[in-house]
Amino acid sequence: MTSDTFTIRSIEAFCYRYPLATPVVTSFGKMLNRPAVFIRAVDEDGVEGWGEAWSNFPAPGAEHRTRLVNEVLAPGLVGRKFDGPGQAFEILTKGTAVLALQCGEPGPFAQAIAGIDLALWDLCARRRRLPLWRLLGGHASAIKVYASGINPGGAAQTAEAALKRGHRALKLKVGFGGETDLANLAALRAIVGTGMLAADANQGWSMEQALEILPRLGRFDLRWLEEPIRADRPREEWRSVRASAGMPIAAGENISSVDDFREVLAEVVLGVVQPDIAKWGGLSKCADLAREILASDKTFCPHYLGGGIGLLASAHLLAGIGGDGWLEVDANDNPLRDLFCGPVANVREGTIQLNHNPGLGIVPDLSNIERYRSI
SS3 content of the chain, % helix, strand, coil (to 5): 45, 25, 35
How many amino acids of this chain bind Mg ion (CB under 5 A)? 2
Mind giving me the DSSP string for 220-260? G--S-EE--B-TTS-HHHHHHHHHH-SS-EEE-TT--SHHH
β-bridge partners, 180: none
Q: State the Cα–Cα distance between residues 3 and 317, nearest whole angstrom.
A: 21
Specify the residue, 181 or 226, whose C-beta has the smaller distance to Mg ion.
226
Is 200 near Mg ion (CB under 5 A)? yes
Piece of 22-30, 43-51, 200-208, 330-338 that binds Mg ion (CB under 5 A): 200-208
CB of 201 to Mg ion, least distance (A): 8
Specify the residue, 226 or 330, whose C-beta has the smaller distance to Mg ion.
226
CB of 171 to Mg ion, least distance (A): 8
CB 69, CB 15: distance < 8 Å: no
Piece of 16-24, 36-44, 152-160, 194-202 that binds Mg ion (CB under 5 A): 194-202
- The residue with its CB nearest to Mg ion is 200
Q: State the Cα–Cα distance between residues 343 and 243, nearest whole angstrom.
A: 39
The total of other beta-carbon atoms located within 10 Å of residue 273's CB is: 25
What residue type is 44 in one-letter code? Answer: E
Specify the residue, 8 or 269, whose C-beta has the smaller distance to Mg ion.
269
CB of 101 to Mg ion, least distance (A): 27
Q: State the Cα–Cα distance between residues 44 and 73, nearest whole angstrom.
A: 18
Specify the residue, 122 or 226, whose C-beta has the smaller distance to Mg ion.
226
Site string for Mg ion, 209-248 (x = CB under 5 A): -----------------x----------------------
CA atoms within 13 A on the CB side of 106: 10
CB of 57 to Mg ion, least distance (A): 12
CB of 302 to Mg ion, least distance (A): 11
Q: What is the SS3 assignment for 198? A: strand
CB of 226 to Mg ion, least distance (A): 5
Q: Which residues bind Mg ion (CB under 5 A)?
A: 200, 226
